[in-house]
């Protein structure tokens, strides 16, 4: 099989509406570049992220998933990011078991003022994912497709 | 003269985080041996932090501390200066090589009447 | 099959320079469900919006995707556009191809490709959208202020001046709070009573303000605009309508055991008493724990002497239940208990006092009629030592004390020192300090005056211990600048004790589901941008209940809280955010997990008849109060049976986006 030199990682970034999505906007308006492989999904709060969404992304061929939320203590909904943090900690401990390198998932706190941090985080994450290479799609035992 | 003892050594032996100190001076305000000491409890904190360990090790102050723990008890930031002084004392003793006891000696010394704490503190004091 | 329209904006050259907008529009045309796709220079302009409106009507679109700038910029604009064309505003999705695409990717093919993916994700999402209607709820045009100190009074006055009814509920028999106990105020040294009592009178006489004193909040239910509060009005055993406040009963009362709360327990009062001369309302109250009549059934001297016939021994507590649109928390503070710090001998000597006690000792209406005397023997002191930061700035792992700086102590200690030196130049005054913190208008100048004009002896260092030696107090402390240990023999020691939230704050916070920090201070909705609102809608914060503050800051915050209350009460109805959680009652298993994670208390459980294909009957199901839910989604992830979902960000919508991006 020829090596696919054209391979580009697929990275899904979940960003909370109040801090990180605004941080991503700020990165944009400050023209701070990060790889186009990163696609952002807006969610109201990091606690809206069901860890199953991350598994779904891996199932569908994502190579990396990152969750960005408000800094601890700054959550718009006061406690949402604490829930997110706990849930993600649990997910991390499960990922290796599922056969996914846990470095493919990350949680970062990015405030609305941290455009530069957003870009730097995405650059770093994309670099990590590129180094890790193509992910193995998670199988779904219930319905074998293809 | 250099004793090669670093700030990190003292912090490790004592378990103290000197950065917590806000320099209020309550330890020195409370110390009953203040007048006997060349360096006072609050000075131990910043002198350890700034790496002035040799001066402390050469000073008689480390033997003047009564280890009454008043400073430790009243410190509003839980810095525990008494533990630092004890740690500097430890560093001196270790350099003198006064290892009166090894771990292997301990089981033979155990007897019902001797409080366990005495052995534990002897261990702590003399274990290399 | 749904009919989706896609509108790709150039944003002049902002997007068009690095994204081939025509290619994007063309590619989207072949997406399933898309029946119309076009591009335009400025989609947010009037022409652009008309283009969208026309397309919605012409193609009978039931969902649109606008590929443009951030939704934070123009989502509201395009929602209005859709609504104007008869489409539900929540059938609009924005693909952010400017901030998150064209502005950061300089390569045209790369940018174009990403824009297409983002557009596809938005199309996938909009297909799962459902029309949403924001609910409305009426607003009760009355505010409740909890606490009748300066914060509560100021908020109530400002709200009442705007024409709304305000109730102040105060647990003690009079309003006035801590400020009424102060002698002078820094940095101007004007007397606290002179500036506070007119405000108390104004609050009492205001036709829109209703004072509910000697009363406690028992329960609060409801939500923003529609709170119901139950208030227990404790029996004063005095008829409020008859009592004239003449004070004869307070003089005749033979019981003298009750500690005078107003004077911090430095002297005693009768069992029937008026808290202080300027109390509002000016009514007597019976302290039943000290009253001889309540203990033995005899006495009744007050009843015999009351010419108005106001004494009512058989008076009972009264329950008031009333509806409110907004609630302001102004519960204030108390000094911490100085007896935790036994090294300062507070419990061993009467001559060791807290600053608030010292305030009473200096006050003309205080126990010593304003003459500064030692509490132990009534003698004139010659040497006074002040100790700052008692219980403030302690680390979390220290055995006692608060982590925060209480903010006001440096200033009131400078005030005390100055007042003593001014009135009694023969008294030596020492102040032990760690740092003198005086940020504030004319604050540092004030402190410097204490040092330079009044010769107050400021010593950088802390007191280690205070011991009682005969009639003197031996103060042993360090002077860090001279590297000395000092031994000062003082006649009095004054402790600048930390302040903490009033002990009732915690239960009130629980009642209101208003969040609090580890110190029991109320948390603000945003630390910078929404400092007077609680994260719980309709709850506002005024004064020290939110964090240590001095009087000017408290008054400023009280006014700010009032303006927020007025803004809320001026609305006839509240339009909610329709992106709220809702439970699928068929799937809900009644486990209550969502109820526990909800930061707003928006979820309740009800027994309800549910009809579905597999289940028919009454079961316990979650019910979301849409007016209270803020739409964070914490409950949706917690729900073990996936019954809970969030409108506008539903599981299906997010999964559709994920799938589209990973395609």
Question: Which own/partner contact pairs does C590-594 have at CB distance under 8 Å and 24+ positions apart?
Answer: C590/C619, C590/C620, C590/C621, C590/C622, C591/C640, C591/C641, C592/C622, C593/C635, C593/C638, C593/C639, C593/C640, C594/C622, C594/C635, C594/C638, C594/C639, C594/C644
> Quick one: pLDDT at residue C553?
96
| Residue of chain B whose Cα is closest to the Cα of C392 | B76
- Whether chain A has a CB inside 8 Å of the CB on C258: the answer is no
Helix axes C443-452, C409-423, angle to 10 degrees: 40
| Residue of chain A whose Cα is closest to the Cα of C660 | A60
Establish if C67 belongs to a structural domain: yes
Average pLDDT over residues A23-29: 92
Structural tokens at position C187 = 């940095």
Task: Write out the H or E segment, with its range, that includes residue A115.
Answer: helix A115-132
Distance of CA C49 to the CA centre of its chain: 42
Instruction: Tell me the CA end-to-end span of chain C in Å, nearest whole number.
Output: 21
C496 and C506 housed in the same domain: no
| B39 vs C535, residue with greater confidence | B39
Helix axes A20-29, C71-84, angle to 10 degrees: 100
CB hemisphere CA count around C204 (13 angstroms)? 16
User: Is the overall model pTM greater than 0.95, yes or no?
Assistant: no
C206 and C160 housed in the same domain: yes
* pLDDT tops 50 at residue A91: yes
Structural tokens at position C24 = 């994007």
Structural tokens at position C170 = 């105060």
Establish if C310 belongs to a structural domain: no
> Quick one: pLDDT at residue C494?
98
For every residue of C416-452, DSSP letters joined together read: HHHHHHHH-TTSEEEEEES-----STTHHHHHHHHHH
For residue A146, name the pLDDT band (cuts at 50, 70, 90). very low
Mutating which of C658, C660, C663 best tests the A interface, going by the most A Cβ atoms within 10 A?
C658
> Quick one: pLDDT at residue C584?
92
- Which residues in C lie closer than 8 A to residue A43 (C-beta atoms)? 633, 649, 654
Structural tokens at position C141 = 């045009």
Which of these, C511, C501, C503, lies nearest to C232 by C-alpha position? C511
| Interface predicted TM-score (ipTM) | 0.93
C11 and C69 housed in the same domain: yes
Distance CA A43, CA A16 (A): 5
Would you kindly state where each structural domain of chain B is located, as residue ranges? Answer: 7-97, 100-128
> Quick one: pLDDT at residue B3?
66
- C352, with CB counted inside 10 A (0-12, 13-18, 19+), is buried
Q: Residue C386 maps to which CATH number? A: 3.50.50.60
Q: Which of A13-27, A68-82, C166-180, C583-597 has the highest mean pLDDT?
A: C166-180
CB-CB under 8 Å, C632 with A76: yes
Structural tokens at position C196 = 């506070």
C344 and C398 housed in the same domain: yes
Q: Are C9 and C40 contacting, i.e. CB atoms less than 8 angstroms apart?
A: yes
Distance CA C211, CA C204 (A): 7
Establish if C652 belongs to a structural domain: no
> Quick one: pLDDT at residue A1?
42
Distance CA A61, CA A40 (A): 16
C224 and C258 housed in the same domain: no
C462 and C543 housed in the same domain: no
Q: Do β-strands C492-497 and C352-354 pair in parallel, antiparallel, or remain unpaired?
A: parallel
Contact C/A (≥3 CB pairs under 8 Å): yes
Task: Write out the H or E segment, with its range, that includes residue C35.
Answer: strand C34-40
**Domain of residue C284, residue span:** 248-305
Q: Are C7 and C96 contacting, i.e. CB atoms less than 8 angstroms apart?
A: no
| Close Cβ partners of B109 (under 8 Å, ≥ 6 residues apart) | B119
Query: CB neighbours (10 Å) of residue C208?
Result: 17
C259 and C212 housed in the same domain: no
> Quick one: pLDDT at residue B119?
67
Choose among B22, B29, B70: nearest Cβ to C463: B29
Which of these, A68, A72, A90, A94, lies nearest to A81 by C-alpha position? A72
* pLDDT tops 50 at residue B128: no
> Quick one: pLDDT at residue A5?
60
CA-based radius of gyration for chain A: 15
Distance CA C379, CA C424 (A): 13
For residue A79, name the pLDDT band (cuts at 50, 70, 90). confident
Choose among C111, C632, C662: nearest Cβ to A47: C632
C346 and C490 housed in the same domain: yes
| Close Cβ partners of C225 (under 8 Å, ≥ 6 residues apart) | C137, C138, C139, C140, C325, C326, C538, C568, C571, C573, C574, C627
C18 and C83 housed in the same domain: yes
CB-CB under 8 Å, A61 with C523: no
Q: Which domains does chain A have, with CATH numbers?
A: 11-131 (3.40.50)
* pLDDT tops 80 at residue B116: no
Provide the chain C residues 88-127 that lie in CB contact (below 8 A) with chain A.
96, 98-101, 103-107, 110-111, 113-114, 117-118, 121
Segments in chain C below pLDDT 50: none
- Whether chain C has a CB inside 8 Å of the CB on B75: the answer is yes
Q: Which residue intervals of C491-585 are DSSP H helices?
A: 505-512, 551-569
Question: Which subunits have 3 or more CB–CB pairs within 8 Å of chain A?
Answer: C
Mean pLDDT over all residues of chain B? 85
Q: Are C561 and C539 contacting, i.e. CB atoms less than 8 angstroms apart?
A: no
CB-CB under 8 Å, C476 with B29: yes
Distance CA C489, CA C472 (A): 6
C452 and C513 housed in the same domain: no
For every residue of C259-322, DSSP letters joined together read: E-TTTTTSSEE-SEE-SSTT-SS---EE-TTT-HHHHHS---HHHHH-TT--B-TT---EEEEE
Give the length of chain B: 128
The topology under which CATH files domain B7-97 is: Fumarate Reductase Iron-sulfur Protein; Chain B, domain 2 (1.10.1060)
Work out how many domains chain C is built from and give that number. Answer: 5
CB-CB under 8 Å, A119 with C104: yes
CB-CB under 8 Å, B29 with C461: yes
- Whether chain C has a CB inside 8 Å of the CB on A83: the answer is yes
Mutating which of C478, C487, C495 best tests the B interface, going by the most B Cβ atoms within 10 A?
C478
Choose among B22, B28, B76: nearest Cβ to C478: B28
Choose among C107, C632, C658: nearest Cβ to A45: C632
Structural tokens at position C320 = 């008031």
Distance CA C450, CA C427 (A): 14
Provide the chain B residues 98-127 that lie in CB contact (below 8 A) with chain C.
none
> Quick one: pLDDT at residue A75?
82
Query: CB neighbours (10 Å) of residue C413?
Result: 29
- C387, with CB counted inside 10 A (0-12, 13-18, 19+), is buried
For every residue of C475-489, DSSP letters joined together read: EEEEETTTTEEEEEE
- C370, with CB counted inside 10 A (0-12, 13-18, 19+), is middle
């Amino acid at each position: 099989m020829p090596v696919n030199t054209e391979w580009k990682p697929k990275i899904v970034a979940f960003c909370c509406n109040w801090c990180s999505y605004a941080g991503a906007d700020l990165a944009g308006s400050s023209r701070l570049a990060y790889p186009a492989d990163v696609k952002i999904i807006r969610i109201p709060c990091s606690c809206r992220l069901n860890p199953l969404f991350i598994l779904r992304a891996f199932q569908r061929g994502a190579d990396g998933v990152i969750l960005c939320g408000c800094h601890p203590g700054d959550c718009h909904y006061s406690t949402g990011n604490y829930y997110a943090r706990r849930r993600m900690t649990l997910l991390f401990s499960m990922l290796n078991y599922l056969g996914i390198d846990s470095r493919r998932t990350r949680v970062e706190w990015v405030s609305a003022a941290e455009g530069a941090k957003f870009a730097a985080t995405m650059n770093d994450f994309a670099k990590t994912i590129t180094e890790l290479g193509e992910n193995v799609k998670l199988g779904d035992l219930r319905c074998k497709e293809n | 003269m250099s004793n090669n003892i670093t700030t990190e050594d003292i912090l490790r032996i004592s378990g103290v985080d000197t950065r917590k100190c806000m320099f209020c001076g309550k330890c020195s305000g409370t110390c009953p041996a203040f007048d006997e000491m060349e360096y006072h409890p609050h000075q131990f904190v910043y002198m350890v932090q700034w790496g002035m360990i040799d001066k402390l090790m050469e000073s008689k102050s480390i033997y003047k501390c009564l280890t009454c723990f008043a400073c430790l008890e009243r410190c509003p930031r839980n810095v525990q200066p008494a533990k630092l002084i004890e740690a500097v004392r430890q560093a001196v003793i270790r350099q003198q090589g006064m290892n009166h006891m090894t771990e292997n000696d301990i089981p033979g010394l155990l007897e019902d009447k001797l409080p366990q704490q005495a052995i534990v503190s002897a261990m702590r004091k003399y274990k290399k | 099959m749904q009919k989706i329209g896609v509108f790709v904006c150039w944003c002049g050259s902002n997007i068009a320079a690095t994204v081939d907008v025509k290619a994007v529009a063309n590619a989207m045309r072949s997406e399933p469900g898309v029946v119309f796709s076009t591009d335009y220079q400025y989609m947010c302009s009037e022409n652009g919006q008309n283009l969208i409106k026309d397309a919605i009507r012409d193609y009978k679109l039931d969902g649109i995707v606008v590929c443009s700038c951030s939704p934070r910029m123009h989502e509201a604009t395009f929602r209005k556009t859709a609504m104007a064309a008869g489409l539900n505003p929540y059938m609009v999705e924005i693909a952010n191809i400017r901030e998150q695409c064209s502005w950061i990717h300089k390569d045209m093919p790369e940018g174009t490709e990403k824009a297409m993916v983002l557009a596809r994700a938005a199309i996938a999402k909009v297909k799962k959208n459902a029309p949403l209607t924001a609910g409305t709820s009426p607003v009760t045009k009355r505010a409740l202020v909890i606490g009748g100190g300066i914060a509560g009074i100021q908020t109530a006055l400002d709200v009442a001046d705007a024409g709304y009814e305000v109730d102040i509920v105060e647990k003690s028999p009079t309003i006035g709070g801590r400020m009424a106990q102060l002698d002078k105020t820094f940095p101007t040294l004007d007397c606290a009573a002179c500036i506070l009592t007119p405000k108390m009178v104004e609050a009492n006489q205001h036709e829109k303000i209703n004072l509910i004193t000697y009363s406690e909040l028992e329960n609060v239910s409801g939500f923003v605009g529609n709170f119901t509060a139950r208030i227990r009005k404790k029996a004063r055993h005095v008829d409020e309508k008859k009592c004239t406040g003449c004070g004869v009963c307070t003089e005749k009362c033979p019981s003298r055991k009750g500690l005078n709360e107003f004077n911090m327990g430095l002297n005693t009062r009768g069992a029937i008493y008026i808290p202080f001369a300027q109390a509002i309302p000016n009514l007597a109250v019976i302290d039943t724990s000290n009253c001889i009549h309540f203990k033995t059934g005899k006495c009744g001297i007050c009843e015999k002497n009351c010419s108005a016939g106001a004494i009512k021994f058989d008076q009972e507590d009264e329950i008031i239940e009333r509806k409110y649109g907004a609630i302001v928390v102004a519960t204030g503070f108390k000094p911490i208990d100085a007896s935790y710090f036994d090294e300062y001998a507070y419990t061993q000597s009467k001559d060791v006092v807290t600053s608030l006690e010292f305030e009473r000792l200096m006050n003309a209406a205080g126990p010593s009629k304003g003459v500064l005397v030692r509490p132990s023997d009534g003698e004139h002191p010659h040497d006074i030592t002040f100790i700052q930061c008692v219980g403030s700035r302690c680390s979390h792992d220290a055995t006692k004390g608060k982590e925060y700086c209480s903010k006001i102590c440096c200033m009131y200690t400078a005030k005390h020192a100055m007042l003593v030196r001014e009135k009694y130049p023969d008294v030596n005054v020492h102040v032990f300090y760690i740092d003198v913190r005086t940020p504030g208008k004319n604050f540092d100048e004030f402190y410097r005056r204490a040092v330079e004009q009044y010769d107050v002896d400021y010593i950088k260092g802390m007191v280690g211990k205070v011991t009682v030696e005969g009639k003197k107090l031996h103060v042993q402390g360090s002077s860090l600048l001279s590297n000395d240990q000092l031994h000062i023999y003082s006649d009095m020691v004054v402790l600048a004790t930390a302040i903490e939230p009033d002990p009732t704050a915690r239960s009130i916070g629980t009642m209101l589901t208003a969040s609090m920090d580890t110190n029991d201070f109320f948390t603000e909705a945003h630390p910078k941008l929404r400092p007077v609102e609680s994260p719980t809608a309709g709850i506002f914060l005024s004064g020290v209940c939110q964090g240590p503050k001095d009087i000017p800051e408290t008054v400023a915050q009280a006014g700010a809280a009032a303006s927020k209350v007025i803004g809320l009460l001026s609305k006839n109805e509240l339009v909610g955010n329709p992106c709220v959680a809702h439970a699928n009652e068929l799937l809900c298993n009644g486990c209550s997990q969502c109820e526990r994670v909800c930061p707003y208390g928006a979820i309740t459980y009800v027994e309800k008849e549910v009809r579905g294909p597999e289940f028919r009957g009454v079961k316990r199901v979650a019910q979301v109060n849409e007016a209270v839910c803020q739409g964070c989604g914490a409950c949706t992830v917690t729900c073990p049976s996936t019954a809970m979902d969030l409108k506008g960000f539903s599981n299906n919508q997010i999964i559709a986006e994920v799938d589209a991006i990973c395609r």
